[in-house]
Amino acid sequence: AFIGSLSIALVLVLFNRLALIPRSSLLFYPFLLIIFLGLPRLIFRVLNEHSFNFLLTDQAHPKRVLILGAGTSGDMLVRDMLRIRGNEYMPLAFLDDNSRLHGGNVQGVPVLGNFDQLVETIETMQIDLIIIAMPSASDEQMRRVVDLCKGCELPVMTLPKLDQLVNRQVNFGALHDIAIDDLLGRAKIKLDWNIISLGLHKKVVMISGGGGSIGSELCQQVAGLNPTALIIFERCEYNLYKIELQLREEFPDLVLYAHLGDIVDSVAIRHILAKYKPEVIFHAAAYKHVPMLQSQAREAVRNNILGTQALVEAAVEYACKTFVMVSTDKAVNPTNIMGATKRAAEILCQTMNENSNTSFITVRFGNVLGSAGSVVPLFKQQIAKGGPVTVTHPEINRYFMTIPEACQLILQASAMGQGGEIFVLDMGKPIKISYLAEQMVRLSGKIPEQDIKIIYTGLRPGEKLHEELFYTDEKLAATNHPKILLAAHRHNDIEIVMTNLRQLTEDCNDYNQQNIIKGVKQIVPELQI
């Protein structure tokens, strides 16, 4: 306004020496300009953001909110609440363990103290809602905060992990109720997306079992890396329909081929590889339900071993460059058929790596939260029915990882591998299933044993108390990624392996369960059945 006024004054001086123009008007003009240009904008912003929102709603009593975490995310969240939802929610205070923030203000909201003052603050300020604004918190930090919130009997909401926020934008719409993933899988993973992208960008990629929990997430992440084409091979019609619909909606420019079929069908496998010539194959198709497969060894062997063999041999024949085998911790010292079949598939991949031009890479990890057949969906159903929640043993524990985290590490391992490696994902500390059950009951707003009973049913056939991620003779070595370890593996003779597989095929064709189990033990002598 002042620069404009000065420019006008200079022009008028040069034009007519300010003849017939009152000098006072040049003094008042910039102030009037500021008022008439700025005041309407100021009034609109004040009305829109927070100060007079109570005039625009019938809600006389907005919810009183306490926010845990006074960092950047807390600042952005409060700003969004005041601007958009000041008529519904009133942020009253922050708590944060960073002592440097104590006594300060964030968007006019005071930072009162650390998390240990939670109960006192709730009682003093009559809080209605607790919001955890810590998207980059570790799983230990989240557990501590949620444990503090448990006794407050107030609704608790949180932000998703930082890498799951859309464009890293923090706003009220991103909040959700506390989920078990927030307690067990919040450690942020740093990936080298440049290396991953180089391995998959402009490549033809095939994913077997692409409609399953791991397979569908792999499809999503690979699709975002701009492959030349993505081929999905899936035996479940509905799962294939879902993932195809989702990918075509989210990635309209993706060249996508969705094929219905069984990996045991070598004719279908060879037809697809001959037609599309995939350069990278992610093999995620497998049966994985331990107790069910324990009494159905033939189906486990056909799918997990012979199906893998069909895909492996086709990959070698049609010059696939990289084959990534998705394995499990149950393949280590297996006490069940499922684990033994996955170990046999690992051995097959290692053997073929030594005898072909295809690079075979194995990635081994533990349980995945929310995957099909995992305990989390089962516990949710049991809690919804009012219980009881069934746990096999009070001491049983498992390694857990979220589906996106597991798939990201699979992609990272595939980019790092040269061929023949067994990569073991660092799963952190194992979690007791009883703890998992208790937390899920509490997150549902109930009290364990009081509102919902937890009963112990005993170990199921083939189930172990504690899973392992590697054999004792597989000396683990560090890699360039802190979450990925390299397990040394023993050499296997290809003639012996192929002879055993031919015998397994005959036993499956004869439906001879006893011989099938003996045949699996020939390949995996450590099987304890």
Residue numbers annotated as active site: 330
- What's 452's DSSP letter? B
Q: How many CA atoms lie within 13 A of 112 on its CB side?
A: 18
3-state secondary structure at position 288? coil
- What's 267's DSSP letter? H
As a whole number of angstroms, the distance between CA 437 and CA 145 comes to 18
- Type and span of the H or E element at 400: strand 400-402
Q: Are strands 322-328 and 476-478 parallel, antiparallel or unpaired?
A: unpaired
3-state secondary structure at position 345? helix
3-state secondary structure at position 529? coil
The CA-CA-CA angle for residues 358, 360, 364, to 5°, reads 170
As a whole number of angstroms, the distance between CA 175 and CA 132 comes to 9
The CA-CA-CA angle for residues 431, 296, 434, to 5°, reads 15
Backbone angles phi, psi at 365, to 5 degrees: -150, 175
The answer to whether 379 touches 437, Cβ cutoff 8 Å, is yes
Instruction: Report DSSP letters for 98-153, one per residue.
Output: -GGGTT-EETTEEEEE-GGGHHHHHHHHT--EEEE--TT--HHHHHHHHHHHHTT-
As a whole number of angstroms, the distance between CA 114 and CA 394 comes to 34
* Contacts for 420 with CB less than 8 Å, ≥ 6 apart: 350, 353, 354, 359, 360, 361, 489
